[in-house]
Amino acid sequence: MDFHDIKILSPEISMGALGIIIILLDMITNRKGFLATVSVLGLAVPLGFSLYLCGLVDSDTEGKLSGVYGTVLIDQFSLFFKFFILGTLALVILSSTDYLSKMGRLRGEYHALLIFSASGMMLLPAVTDLISIYIAIELTALPLAALIAIRRDSHSTEAGIKFLLLSAMSSAVLLYGMALIYGFTGSTEIGIIIERIAMLSADSGPFGERVILLAVVLIVAGIGFKISAAPFQMWVPDVYEGAPTPITSYLSVASKAAGFAIMLRIFYMAFGDIRIDWASLFAILSAVSMTVGNLAAVIQTNIKRMLAYSTVAHAGFLLMGLAAVGTQADLFETPMGPGSVLFYLVAYAVTNLAAFFVIIAIVNSTGSNMIRNFAGMGQRAPVLAIVLSISMISLLGIPPTVGFMGKLYIFSAAINSGLTWLVICGVLNSVVSAYYYLRVIRTMYMSEPESDTSIQIGIPPRLAIGIVGIGIIMLGIIPSAVMNAAEKAVIVFF
């Protein structure tokens, strides 16, 4: 590894160094609250390196930088997700400060594991080798398993073990798919895989060869676990309920984004010539995920489990965007499909983080995740109730929120690709989701409060809630900046 490779990996290297610094500081200081400040301020270093790489990419004639023996590619796509993960991580750390006051000596491990996991998520969209992809996925998953079980009570430990075991199973399935691709093409490099698959004759059946069909199914199953898409969502409700709520928020947003990033990278680069075939697979998974997620969410009485099934449904909306790009007649002219996926990820991140940040503040006071215990929050905590209401409305997809714009872009891309039936399915599922999203709002404003005590939260969580709350409305009114950045990021596939 030479200086160029170090430069290419500088954001991830600095993230790893920050995690080590947090551990060392935790060993020598008794001021555990100071670790959150160091963590947030320390993110300025990988942010600076990412901006530096952004400048190098913009100045390069090909618009990309390659390093580490051709296994890491820095382009607008990978940079988009670096900024996405860094922003999400900073907000989650800010929202965790009040929650961590109950964890005592585990704060150092909490922040370090978050940072180590984020370094894997930042690396994942940039790698272009199947083995490197697998390593980056494990670097992401293992710290998450420890974070889920960090409370070490019965619920948290059970959730951590479930996540670890099922994550291992999904990784094994993914690895089998990658092994088949290697056996068929003789390479693990995406660039070479593209050339070998392109040599398949057009009349050799779906996906060119049966082995490619099997490999695609296994890879989709492996990554489907990471993005919590049906029918691979069996771990989601128990893990979301048992994990610490800040980790649930991080898992629902950052992990999903990293999974979709690598899915875009693999399927639009390695399997681009058979996109019509796998687009049909994604369309079916999209309809199943939306339907299963929404129907299961309707009967939930625990708000974390409700949002767990909600994230399954939103994985279905994101898969609609993947299916839409795969069926476009001329990908070189219309990057709206993959751009809509990236925009929807931002919209979902802002909206879901807002919901979970408010839930953290309320549950810290009430001690219960049950929806009925949110009764009267419109009186006890009017600002928190407003933000949670806005987030529910955005998840439902009502203007002028960013959730509405996200669904508008996704539906438009699907209609342009001839997936009208899938859009109808999405609209019907949005109607179903209105029941459980609006139920939360009704409980907060139309039910009598159990107590008159106001909800008290610290300054860092207020800041995090304020940022995402304003973001829901601002990005809904002015979405062009994010959409332009998303389309610029995905142009590398065309």
- Spatial contact of 249 and 310, defined as CB atoms under 8 Å apart: no
- Amino acid, res. 280: S
> Token pair of 68, please?
């580490």
Report the C-alpha gap between 323 and 263 in whole angstroms: 12
Report the C-alpha gap between 119 and 137 in whole angstroms: 11
Beta bridge partners of 129: 189
Band (277; pLDDT cuts 50, 70, 90)? low
Mean pLDDT of 215-221: 86
Report the C-alpha gap between 355 and 348 in whole angstroms: 10
Q: Is the pLDDT of residue 202 over 70?
A: no
Report the C-alpha gap between 357 and 251 in whole angstroms: 13
> Token pair of 174, please?
């993914």
Report the C-alpha gap between 266 and 226 in whole angstroms: 15
- Are β-strands 72-74 and 65-67 bridged in parallel, bridged antiparallel, or unpaired? antiparallel
Question: What domain range is 317 assigned to?
Answer: 3-493
Q: What's the gap between Cα 76 and its chain centre?
A: 18
Main-chain dihedrals φ then ψ at residue 243, nearest 5 degrees: -75, 155
Q: Is the pLDDT of residue 465 over 80?
A: yes
Q: How many C-beta atoms lie closer than 10 Å to residue 473's C-beta?
A: 15
Mean pLDDT over the full length of the chain: 86
Q: What is the pLDDT of residues 355-391, one digit of tens each?
A: 999 999 998 888 888 998 888 888 888 999 999 999 9
Instruction: Give residue 425's pLDDT.
Output: 94
Q: Is the pLDDT of residue 307 over 60?
A: yes
Query: Of 180-194, 264-278, 368-382, 416-430, which range is least confident?
Result: 264-278
Instruction: Give residue 330's pLDDT.
Output: 45
Band (327; pLDDT cuts 50, 70, 90)? low
Instruction: Give residue 29's pLDDT.
Output: 78
* Percent above pLDDT 90 for the chain: 43
- Give, to the nearest 10 degrees, the angle between helix 382-396 and helix 459-477: 40
> Token pair of 136, please?
């980056």
Classify 94 as helix, strand or coil: helix
SS3 track for 317-383? HHHHHHHHHHCCCCCCCCCHHHHHHHHHHHHHHHHHHHHHHHHHHHHHHHCCCEHHHHCCHHHHCHH
Band (203; pLDDT cuts 50, 70, 90)? very low
Instruction: Give residue 273's pLDDT.
Output: 55
Closest CA to 47 of 19, 76, 83, 17: 83
Q: How many C-beta atoms lie closer than 10 Å to residue 400's C-beta?
A: 14
Report the C-alpha gap between 323 and 286 in whole angstroms: 8
> Token pair of 273, please?
């010539």
Instruction: Give residue 418's pLDDT.
Output: 84
Q: Could you give the angle at the alpha carbon of 192 between the alpha carbons of 190 and 194, nearest 5°?
A: 70
The CA dihedral of 163, 249, 303, 477, to the nearest 10 degrees, is -140
Band (40; pLDDT cuts 50, 70, 90)? very high
C-alpha Rg value of the chain to the nearest Å: 22
> Token pair of 291, please?
């339907």
Instruction: Give residue 376's pLDDT.
Output: 86
Instruction: Give residue 272's pLDDT.
Output: 56
Q: Is the pLDDT of residue 333 over 70?
A: no
- Spatial contact of 149 and 156, defined as CB atoms under 8 Å apart: yes
Mean pLDDT of 249-262: 89
Instruction: Give residue 208's pLDDT.
Output: 52
Q: Is the pLDDT of residue 108 over 90?
A: no
Q: What is the pLDDT of residues 403-445, one digit of tens each?
A: 999 999 999 888 888 889 999 999 999 999 999 999 999 999 9
- Spatial contact of 8 and 68, defined as CB atoms under 8 Å apart: yes
DSSP state of 65: E
Report the C-alpha gap between 131 and 157 in whole angstroms: 30
DSSP state of 31: -
Report the C-alpha gap between 445 and 470 in whole angstroms: 21
Q: What's the gap between Cα 283 and its chain centre?
A: 19
Mean pLDDT of 339-343: 88
Closest CA to 134 of 185, 98, 97, 182: 182
Report the C-alpha gap between 197 and 214 in whole angstroms: 14
- Provide the domain count of the chain: 1
Instruction: Give residue 204's pLDDT.
Output: 52
Omega cis (within 30) before 231:
yes
Contacts with 203 (C-beta within 8 Å, 6 or more apart), sequence order:
none
Q: What is the pLDDT of residues 2-12, one digit of tens each?
A: 788 888 999 99
Instruction: Give residue 331's pLDDT.
Output: 44
- Amino acid, res. 148: I
